[in-house]
Amino acid sequence: MRSVERALNNYEQSLQVSVTLPEGPLAIGSEIPIRIQLSNVSRDTVAGCFGPDSRLILLASPTVVREGRPPVSERGSTTDHAGCQRRFTLAPAESLSWADAYTVPDIGPGGATFMASFQVVYPERCHRLYGCYATIVRAPERKVELTRSGIGAIERPPNDALQLTKPAQAMELRS
């Protein structure tokens, strides 16, 4: 069990997630491109696995009902018995990044906080019925402004490619 605890603690200390959103106000109802990056900030190579759980949350700031809309919207999944979806190995200073599309939910115009989190699974100790041990890595919260006006939908980026960024070069990984 100590090896599992060490691995999960290592993920939490070594891996950082960041999310890049378009600059400026976000138009409610529009589809925007987002870029997610998982980076190894430690001096050691980190091997793990993406689990099935991920969350993208938009929370009205301040948390009040606007125009009769709920002040929070969540896109994500929760799995009771996590399994390995896609393995990864990151050397020191390497990053994996991928594109996704996000439809800006209607929580009313005004300030909001965007939050993202992803599950990292320790694939070496999995049970066939109960799944694998896992932890959650979170991106720093981002303050955004929501509007009812804007240019509309933005072309959907591909979301099936992971890009591995090494300190001096990049190569693309496909599932």
What the chain holds in terms of domains, given with CATH numbers, is 2-166 (2.60.40.2360)
Residue 170 has what pLDDT? 43
Residue 171 has what pLDDT? 43
At 43, list the tokens.
């001096």
CA 124 to chain centre: 23
| Each residue's pLDDT tens digit, 91-143 | 999 999 999 999 999 999 999 999 999 999 999 888 888 888 999 999 999 99
Residue 41 has what pLDDT? 97
Residue 10 has what pLDDT? 92
Residue 162 has what pLDDT? 65
Is 175's pLDDT higher than 70? no
- Greater confidence (128 vs 168) lies with 128
| The pTM of the whole model exceeds 0.85 | no
Dihedral sign of CA atoms 31, 139, 85, 175 in order: positive
The Cα–Cα gap between 158 and 123 comes to: 27
Is 158's pLDDT higher than 60? no
CA-to-CA dists, residue 78 to 40, 55, 64, 141, angstroms: 24, 8, 26, 20
At 107, list the tokens.
């929580």
CA-to-CA dists, residue 141 to 32, 67, 102, 145, angstroms: 17, 24, 16, 13
| Each residue's pLDDT tens digit, 25-72 | 999 999 999 999 999 999 999 999 999 999 999 999 999 999 999 999
The Cα–Cα gap between 100 and 46 comes to: 24
Q: In the chain, how many H helices and how many E strands?
A: 1, 12
Q: Where are the strands (E) in 64-109, listed by range?
A: 72-77, 86-90, 95-103
The Cα–Cα gap between 170 and 139 comes to: 22
Is 154's pLDDT higher than 60? no
Residues with Cβ within 8 Å of 171's Cβ and at least 6 positions away in sequence, in order, are 163, 164
The answer to whether 70 and 107 have CB atoms below 8 angstroms apart is yes
Residue 29 has what pLDDT? 94
Categorize the per-residue pLDDT at 77 as very low, low, confident or very high, splitting at 50, 70 and 90.
confident
- Greater confidence (166 vs 127) lies with 127
